[in-house]
Structure 1
């Protein structure tokens, strides 16, 4: 079933989506702060002891924790960048328009994924 394109965003929908984007952005900034502190703690604690990641049983755990936190931090930074771009598109009047086909992105999709740049139809694999 194909997604039905939504009409242009109403002023109230635009305001609600701006608030949603701002809330998601604030959450991403908070997550980046928490993860950065966790990363710093891991690095600081591992610098106090001579840990051989390859041969020390604790080393593998520390390496995993460091890699895990780094992956989460990268993901949060990417999400923040996507949200900033969405806010920029909103300010330019381009928010809610599919970057591939130029059709409106359904309001339901924007509520679920506020930083979405494509409509549901364009996200599906092509055959």
Structure 2
């Protein structure tokens, strides 16, 4: 199923088996891409040979810290993808965890790991 086909389905089809399978495949694809990026970053970090030039050490350490922050952020996204896949297996995916209302297909296409509807997310942001 394509995104266009997904969006053309009637409202009554929201989170039926076909839609859940669409998002499961999307999440699995994103998960594989993310794991590949993480693996690549770790490989670059392992292969890096630091220079003995003291002026380069500061730059090298700054780059290493940046890579570690990036890996940490990607690991968090990987966890969110795994949580979304778990929600699909429990037939809870696509529903706002706060209100129980549909999150919406367009929002899920933009952010497949979303757990809140736009209204609930905006409310959380106002309260923060």
Pair in the same fold by TM > 0.5:
yes
Relative contact order, higher structure (CA 8 A, sep 6+): 1
- Contact kept in structure 1, 2:23 and 2:112, CA below 8 Å: yes
- Kindly indicate whether residue 96 of structure 2 is the aligned counterpart of residue 117 of structure 1: no
Deviations 1:57-114 (A, max 9, x none): 2011101110111011111111111100100010001111112222111111111111
- Contact kept in structure 1, 2:20 and 2:93, CA below 8 Å: no
- Equivalences for residues 36-75 of structure 1 within 5 A: 36-42=42-48, 45-46=49-50, 56-75=54-73
* TM-score normalised to structure 2 length: 0.80
Structure 1: 5+ residue stretches without partners: 1-5
The equivalent of 1:80 in structure 2 is 78
By percentage of residues, which structure has more helix?
Answer: 2
Partners in 1 of 2:59 and 2:85 — Cα distance?
Answer: 39
Give the paired residue count. Answer: 114
* TM-score normalised to structure 1 length: 0.80
Structure 2: 5+ residue stretches without partners: 1-10
